[in-house]
Structure 1
Amino acid sequence: MPKVVDPEARRDEVVDAVFRVVRRAGFEHASLRNVAEEAGLAIGSVRHYFDSHTDLMVFAMRASLDRVAARLMERVGPLLAEQDRDARAEGAERMLSELLPLDDQRRDETTVWLAFATAARTRPELEPLARESYDGMRTLVRRIVDGLAMRRPLDAELETERLAALIDGLTLEGVLRPDRMTPELMARTLHHHLRTLTGHP
């Protein structure tokens, strides 16, 4: 009797293989053949689900976005409902920490995302997702800034860009220089910055 394959589960397996190849060897090595080999599949099996390398990369990039977004959505409700300033700052810190490479899982995710974002500069098919990620992150940061500015008026637009730049910088340094930009230093830096927004430097 032929084996029944769950298409969604098989696509997830292939996407996980894409992530492993990109982490280990870079975006340019994530060919259909290399991804199929990483997943332990025949290349024809991969082509059954993805018509081309472009289709596979777009699907993988979307999956990367969706996985992080799902974790953020778990936290956004309680954060927006919180009335206490300090508790709201702690919730914002936990939420933004999901975007930083503070453990193996998040380091892997940010490594893959940086590879995708860099590739999107010269690959038009990836650019819409890169822009969606950019805009989504700034929307999230703006809502956090608005929620934390409880004690004094702030230039919300400027503070949004400042906090977004901080996240971007910590992420890049945490991936490229993990020996110097340690998880502890990233967490302390984010904590200190958010406290300045609440009026408690």
Structure 2
Amino acid sequence: MPKVVDPEARRRAVAEAVFRVVRAQGLEQASLRNVAEEAGLAIGSVRHYFTDHDELLSFALDELIARVERRVFARVDEIRDATTSQQRRAGVEELLGELLPLDADRHDEAVVWLEFSQAARTRPTLRPAARRLYEGIRMIVGRVLERSGVPGEEEVERLAALLDGLAVNAVLQPDLMTPAKIRAVLRRHLDGLEAARR
């Protein structure tokens, strides 16, 4: 009897192989052949699930976005259930921390995010997902600030730029931009927003 394969599970497994190749060798090395080899599949099997290289990369970027969204939405529930201002503040820090490379998994995601974001500049097929990620971060930041009583598009851009900068620097200089430093900078920024609101 032939083995039954869940197509979506297989597509996600191939996306994971894309992430591993991108982390180790960069996006330019994430060819169908290299990804198939990393996934332990024949290249024909990869082509069975993805019509071409662009579809594979777009799917992988969508998977990355979905992974981050799941973690962020779980944190939203925690903030909603908080009963004290300290719990809410801690929840906000943890929620924003989901967008930052504070552990090995999130650091790997940031590496992949940076590779895809850079590639989207010259690859039109990646632009919609990259735009969705850009807008999604700003939507999350906007809601956090609005609920914290800090309105304003400039504040959204300021905090989003801080998150982006911390992530980029942590990818490029991980020995200098450590998780402890990232947390301290984020906390200081949130402290400043609270002080300005009073």
- CA offset at residue 57 of structure 1? 0.5
1:85–1:148 contact (8 Å) kept in structure 2: no
Question: Does the 8 A contact of 1:54 with 1:125 survive in 2?
Answer: yes
* Aligned pairs for 1:63-142 within 5 A: 63-80=63-80, 82=82, 84-142=84-142
- Comparing 191-200 with 124-133, greater Cα deviation is found at 191-200
Q: Deviations over 1:59-80 (max 9, x none)?
A: 0000000000011111113324
SS where residue 125 of structure 1 aligns?
Answer: helix
What is the identity, as a one-letter code, of the residue corresponding to 1:193? H
Instruction: State how far apart, in whole Å, the 2-side matches of 1:183 and 1:78 are.
Output: 22
CA contact (8 A) 1:72 1:98 kept: yes
**One-letter amino acid matched to 2:110:** T
One-letter amino acid of the structure 2 residue matched with residue 156 of structure 1: G
- Counterpart residue identity of residue 137, structure 1: I
1:87 Cα deviation from its structure 2 partner: 2.5
Displacement of 1:155 in angstroms is: 5.5
Aligned-partner residue type, residue 79 of structure 2: L
Does structure 1 conserve the Cα–Cα contact (< 8 Å) formed by 2:14 and 2:46?
A: yes
| TM-score, length-scaled by structure 2 | 0.94
Amino acid in structure 2 at the alignment position of 1:113 = W
Aligned to 1:191: 187
Does the aligned pair in 2 maintain the 1:88–1:148 contact within 8 Å?
no
Structure 1 stretches lacking a partner, 5+ long: none
Q: Cα distance, 1:118 vs. partner?
A: 0.7
SS of residue paired to 1:178: coil
How far 1:51 moved relative to its partner? Answer: 0.7
* 2:93 partner amino acid: E
Distance 1:155 1:12, change over 3 A: closer
- Counterpart amino acid of residue 138 in structure 2: R
Query: C-alpha distance in 1, partners of 2:120/2:192?
Result: 34
Matched, 1:42 2:28: no
Partner Cα separation in structure 2 for residue 173 and residue 81 of structure 1: 33
- Report what 2:160 is aligned to: 164
**Secondary structure at the counterpart of residue 161 of structure 2:** helix
C-alpha deviation, 1:81, in angstroms: 5.3
Distance in 2 between the 1:135 and 1:96 partners? 15
RMSD: 1.6
- Rounded to whole Å, the distance in 1 between the matches of 2:116 and 2:92 is 26
Taking only the aligned residue pairs, the percentage that are identical comes to 53
Query: Residue in 2 aligned with 1:181?
Result: 177
Unaligned runs of 5+ in 2: none
What aligned pairs does 1:142-157 form with structure 2 within 5 A after superposition?
142-149=142-149, 154=150, 156-157=152-153
| Alpha-carbon distance in structure 2 between the residues aligned to 1:155 and 1:43 | 50
Per-residue CA deviations over 1:151-188 (Å, capped at 9, x if unaligned) read xxx56222111111110010000000001001100011
Answer with 103-112 or 79-88: which moved more: 79-88
TM-score (norm 1): 0.93
